[in-house]
């Protein structure tokens, strides 16, 4: 790929600034033969004092967990038991999570923003904490955008199925041309493979990891209210007691939704997804709510995932809640006990769906 070649060239031109260790020298070898079954993106001979070793490098050009895992696996396989070869992941920038994953896998890293972790016998280099010098330009719609996420949501619910593009488009009521474009993007990211012209999910857990890093629940529009009630359970019971027409679409989310599906964390606010201000007015009247600036215990969310947030919603104990996937997305980065509730939800409900 062109971007990977450019990253390697930038490394070659700036290696002394990126790894400012006096006496450490590098010699980049020619690109390995393409006739090999697999070869690394680059190989460099390194020397420091009386030490001589080989750096075997793979370039990460996409923020993509399945490809990231593949690169690490290939590196470890290629290096094998060769103690003089040091496996290294190279990127423009590696987040703290990605750097930690490298270390946990026994692979070293180097990025063009200045972060480096490299070790060989008595040589130890660790420089971390440098910010991203390569902020991403705004891209077109990706697989985690609102409409496109319908494709992933459908595939997740039947991940063993081989999907035809038209069949998939029909199941989520999307234009086949749009689904076809997204299918190519999913292939490019290594999220799916194409078998006999049909799509098969490749790494559901890796996709979910990428998804939660791109998703931001703060993009939902909030309307805050106070409801007379001792605790969230009492408020939820009040919602259950009112007569809600089928025309009023709603779904509990975040902690309130998780409490109905798989309770774990203590919480104080009840979040409810609704499609419009008319729905808010309905609940405001029925529950005798008071709109407030502070002290809210009921929060209505007008979703930025307008087309997909209600996909796969489920009825539990007589109430609608969003899908387990949507709960996980919202909770993962929610500041108040969100991550622990998300992890509990994953173990109790999502793990079987995602990992089988």
- List, as one string, the DSSP characters of 137-152: PP-S--TTSHHHHHHH
DSSP per residue over 109-136, as a string?
A: EEETTS-EEEEETTEEEEE--PPPSSPP
Position 322 pLDDT exceeds 70: yes
| The last residue of a domain, from among 127, 160, 177 | 127
Position 37 pLDDT exceeds 70: no
CATH number at residue 176: 1.10.10.10
Mean of pLDDT values over 285-292 = 95
The CA distance from 232 to 237, in Å, is: 9
Both 317 and 236 in one domain: the answer is: yes
Neighbours of 318 (CB within 10 A): 9
Number of domains in the chain: 3
The CA distance from 329 to 208, in Å, is: 9
Please report where in the chains the tokens 């979910």 appear, as a residue.
Answer: 208
Q: Which domain holds residue 343?
A: 217-355
Position 137 pLDDT exceeds 70: no
Q: Does residue 28 lie in a domain region? A: yes
Position 139 pLDDT exceeds 60: no
Q: Does residue 135 lie in a domain region? A: no
Both 117 and 241 in one domain: the answer is: no
CATH number at residue 260: 3.30.460
190-218: b or e for each residue (b if 16 or more CB lie within 10 Å)?
A: bbbeeeeebbebbbbebbbbbbbeebebe
Q: Does residue 251 lie in a domain region? A: yes
3-state secondary structure of 4: helix
Which residues make Cβ contacts (< 8 Å) with residue 187, sequence separation at least 6?
193, 194
**Encoding tokens for residue 318?**
């007589």
Mean of pLDDT values over 82-100 = 92
The CA distance from 233 to 96, in Å, is: 38
| The last residue of a domain, from among 190, 214, 238 | 214
**Encoding tokens for residue 274?**
């609704």
Mean of pLDDT values over 224-248 = 93
The CA distance from 34 to 121, in Å, is: 31
Summarised one tens digit per residue, pLDDT across range 166-196 is: 999 999 999 999 999 999 999 988 899 898 8
The CA distance from 217 to 332, in Å, is: 9
Q: How far is CA 21 from CA 24, 26, 44, 108, 254, in A?
A: 6, 11, 16, 17, 49
Mean of pLDDT values over 278-290 = 95
Helices (H), 189-227: 204-214
More reliable by pLDDT, 253 or 141? 253
Classify burial at 189, counting beta carbons within 10 Å of its beta carbon; exposed 0-12, middle 13-18, buried 19 or more.
buried
The answer to whether 299 and 269 have CB atoms below 8 angstroms apart is yes
DSSP 8-state assignment for residue 294: S
pLDDT at 135: 75
pLDDT at 294: 92
Both 267 and 328 in one domain: the answer is: yes
Please report where in the chains the tokens 């992941």 appear, as a residue.
Answer: 89
316 φ/ψ sector (left φ>0, alpha ψ -120 to 50, else beta): beta
């Amino acid at each position: 790929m062109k971007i990977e070649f450019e990253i390697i060239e930038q490394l070659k031109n700036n290696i002394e600034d990126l790894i400012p260790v006096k006496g450490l020298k590098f010699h980049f070898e020619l690109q390995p033969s393409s006739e090999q079954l697999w070869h690394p993106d680059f190989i460099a001979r390194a020397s420091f004092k009386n030490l001589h070793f080989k750096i075997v490098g793979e370039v990460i050009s996409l923020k993509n967990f399945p490809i990231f895992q593949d690169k690490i696996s290939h590196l470890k396989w290629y290096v094998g038991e060769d103690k003089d070869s040091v496996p290294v992941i190279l990127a423009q920038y590696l987040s703290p999570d990605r750097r930690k994953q490298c270390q946990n896998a026994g692979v070293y890293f180097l990025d063009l923003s200045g972060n480096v972790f490299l070790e060989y016998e008595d040589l130890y280099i660790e420089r971390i904490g440098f910010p991203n010098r390569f902020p991403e330009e705004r891209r077109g719609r990706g697989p985690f955008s609102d409409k496109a996420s319908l494709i992933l949501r459908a595939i997740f619910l039947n991940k063993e199925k081989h999907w035809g593009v038209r069949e998939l488009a029909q199941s989520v009521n999307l234009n086949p041309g749009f689904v076809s474009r997204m299918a190519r993007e999913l292939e490019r990211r290594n999220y799916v493979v194409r078998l006999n012209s049909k799509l098969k999910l490749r790494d559901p857990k890796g996709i979910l990891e990428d998804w939660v890093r791109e998703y931001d629940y703060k993009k939902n529009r909030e309307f805050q209210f106070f409801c007379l009630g001792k605790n969230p359970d009492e408020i939820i019971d009040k919602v259950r007691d009112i007569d809600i027409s089928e025309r009023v679409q709603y779904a509990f989310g975040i902690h309130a939704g998780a409490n109905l599906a798989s309770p774990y964390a203590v919480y104080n606010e009840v979040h409810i997804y609704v499609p419009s201000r008319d729905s808010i007015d309905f609940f405001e009247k029925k529950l005798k709510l008071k709109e407030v600036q502070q002290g809210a215990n009921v929060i209505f969310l007008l979703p930025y995932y307008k087309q997909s947030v209600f996909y796969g919603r489920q009825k539990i104990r007589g109430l609608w809640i969003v899908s387990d996937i949507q709960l996980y997305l919202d909770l993962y980065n929610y500041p108040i006990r969100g991550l622990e509730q998300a992890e509990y939800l994953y173990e109790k409900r999502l793990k079987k769906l995602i990992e089988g």
